[in-house]
């Protein structure tokens, strides 16, 4: 009896793990949004920094402004997520981070002559900020809104 239970339990565990893996590797709109936000932000930043440099602008004020915005954003998200115990969800999954950072670094290195070192860091931070915003929106806000929608529906059913 015990053996059959343990076998069943093991099978359930394996099934759960398989389901979890299948879920984590399924391409969803969230993944595409994070990746496309990174691509779009990186392209936009390269175009603008190139334009600033060619027009003789100093990038320092924009760079400092961007750093301030990024710091404020992270601080705000931490303040919101910490009471809910969700600080771990501040950044996307490691694989997604690696993909996005690699693309940004490679693309910025291609244009490093035209954008300079400061431009390089600007592009990395800018694209990180945008894809992280996208991640936070889709990973936390979407769930919260969906939950609220769900609870409203439940309320309607009860009535």
Partner 1 sequence: MMENLFSFSFSAIPVALGSIGRFIVENTLLCGVLFISYGLMYIYSFINNQSADSEVYEIDLLSSGLSTIMIAMLLIGIDESSKGFNLANFDISEPTTQIALFLLVYAFVMIALAFIKVLPQFLVVVFGNSELDFFINFTAILLTDTSVAVNGTMLVLIAVPLLTMLVVQRLRRAMG
What are the residues binding partner 1 (CB under 8 A)? 27-30, 32-33, 35-37, 39-48, 50-52, 55-58, 61-62, 65, 107, 110, 126, 130, 133-134, 137-138, 141-142, 145
Only one residue has tokens 């769900």, namely 150
Residue 5 vs 22, nearer CB to partner 1: 22
95-99, Cβ contacts within 8 angstroms, sequence gap of 24 or more = 96/31, 96/34, 96/35, 96/135, 99/35
Residue 4 vs 24, nearer CB to partner 1: 24
Backbone angles phi, psi at 120, to 5 degrees: -60, -50
* 114 neighbors 40 (Cβ within 8 angstroms): no
Q: How far is the CB of 149 from partner 1 (least distance, A)?
A: 10
Q: How far is the CB of 2 from partner 1 (least distance, A)?
A: 43
């Amino acid at each position: 009896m015990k053996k059959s239970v343990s076998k069943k339990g093991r099978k359930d565990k394996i099934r759960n793990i398989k389901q979890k893996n299948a879920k984590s590797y399924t391409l969803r709109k969230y993944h595409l949004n994070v990746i496309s936000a990174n691509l779009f932000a990186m392209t936009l930043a390269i175009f603008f920094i190139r334009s600033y440099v060619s027009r003789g602008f100093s990038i320092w004020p924009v760079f400092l402004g961007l750093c301030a915005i990024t710091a404020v954003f992270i601080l705000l998200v931490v303040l919101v997520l910490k009471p809910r115990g969700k600080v771990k969800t501040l950044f996307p999954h490691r694989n997604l981070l690696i993909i996005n950072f690699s693309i940004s670094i490679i693309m910025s290195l291609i244009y490093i002559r035209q954008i300079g070192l400061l431009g390089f860091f600007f592009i990395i931070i800018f694209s990180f900020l945008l894809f992280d915003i996208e991640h936070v929106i889709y990973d936390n806000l979407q769930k919260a809104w969906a939950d609220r929608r769900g609870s409203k529906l439940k309320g309607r059913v009860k009535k």
